[in-house]
Structure 1
Amino acid sequence: MNTKDFFGILLMAMFAVVGLTACSNDDEPKDSVKEIRMQISAETGVMYAWGDDKKENPIECMLVMSEDNPGVWEPLGFGKIEGFTYERGHEYYLSVRRTILANPPADASDRTYSLIRILEDRVVTEPEVPVDEEITSEEDIEYHDLCPFEKYATSKGYIVDANGKIFYDDGYGSSLPSYDNARIWLEDVLDKGDPNWVKFESVPYMAMYSFVLSPFTDDIRLVSNGSHGPMFKDVVPEDEFTRIQSMQSGEEVRYALILANVYKKGLQKLEFTIKKQ
């Protein structure tokens, strides 16, 4: 074979390889990208990690409804919409870029989302939940299995000044947001060494509601806890808050919350004071 023939064959082989590579790239599946509308609920939901087949470790998440699956609220983790920060108590209507991955990871979703723009952002007031007419006293509240137990904690006290500003009675003087936006935060303080820790982290042991025991009335109200605790104004309605503002300096009142699960069965009792500055 002469040199001319050799280089001719080599050139043809190179063209063949390039051609095969081009065909291979054209045949590879590609990601599907589409702009869609998505609604985000003011309420949060619960989801479970990959591999948690027994659903023993619920994870709080967003609830979303997309235009390609109308009428169905689906769980989506916080931070799963790139460029979007969810705030509890807000209902959103978004334009997002949805990417369906051609080759998704084995242990993850086949789609990703990124924010294009927020079309609507609305603050939703958490409504008061009607209490069972048969519950007229603390003794009428039925506790759930293994309850009461010490899973949650909250601030032991609050201070209110004459202008209606609310402070933590913690020695640091840190303030809460306005009366309309303040929340009584519930902190999960359950020791992971507890033999029932896994069970206590399941949905039946989550504080979805609070029975409010007020120093100003014998009536028991049931309020929603939202994501991390009830709104201050739901626990201390405006007429009671006005009475607290009119108290003498140093005078205090004591409230109690009986936390309850989704079935409105008691979990534990928390008490806190509100003092007039």
Structure 2
Amino acid sequence: MLTSNTAFNAAKADFNDVYDQPDPREYFAAMKRVGYRLPENVMPSFLRVIEAVRRVRGGASLTILDVGCSYGINGALLNYELTLDDLYGCAEQREGDPGREPAEIDRKFFATRKTPFGHRVHGVDRAAFAIGYATSAGLIDQGAALDLEAAESPELPAGLADVDLIISTGCVGYVTVKTFARLLDANTGRLPWIATSALRTLDYSSFERFFGERGYVTSSSVRPVKQRAITSETERAQTLSNLAALGKDPAGFESEGDLYADCYVSMPAEEAGSVTREELFG
């Protein structure tokens, strides 16, 4: 029998055919069609978390690991004066040039939007082409194509093992605590803070329990944020079924035709008392 989240993943719109390409245009076009806004909508909370980590630990910039980074959207929003619409528009307007790689063309555009005092953003994802684009275009500093759910997954490269903050906007629900266990086992410095978003259709309690066992205290947002449009009756029905099983009311949220996500921040217990929920989520 399928678990509720496995059933939901099976019912979700499938973007696998465009998720891992050398050129992100088809992926960005697909995301624009379904009104995908999650990275932009969670970014205010992520920026508050970044400021909290800087205040608690000191330092002008952080090393951030984006789990499920794909084409580097979070890196773009963190370190460049860009919106999701800018990314979608850039992909639409770029003219084909058989003599140059898409990432090479886009890197020049992104360079004109780079903000000073940016953070070091690394990425890990199963999608090797997407990782390659994100690195070559300058949206992440270092990337590794790894499946951290797989038992035979190789070790995390050294540069990705000592980070201040782990973020994720899209993979929780596809990955389990196995991925975060591997990341924390590979960590060579202080425990990183962890900021994620997860669809409301997901029971996040297994992650909270795991993080608690690893010495974390988890706080969650007060109000969910929009991810994207629900794209089919099958997806809508499974969304409502999952929410009902979790005792969550879809009124005003999924009932209006969109998927919504909650934000979670897991802080090392010894540092959790240094920041309030309001400081994290506004």
Give the TM-score normalised by the residue count of structure 2.
0.23
Q: Larger RCO: Structure 1 or Structure 2 (Cα < 8 Å, ≥ 6 residues apart)?
A: 2
- Greater CA radius of gyration, 1 or 2? 1
The two structures have a TM-score, normalised by structure 1, of: 0.23
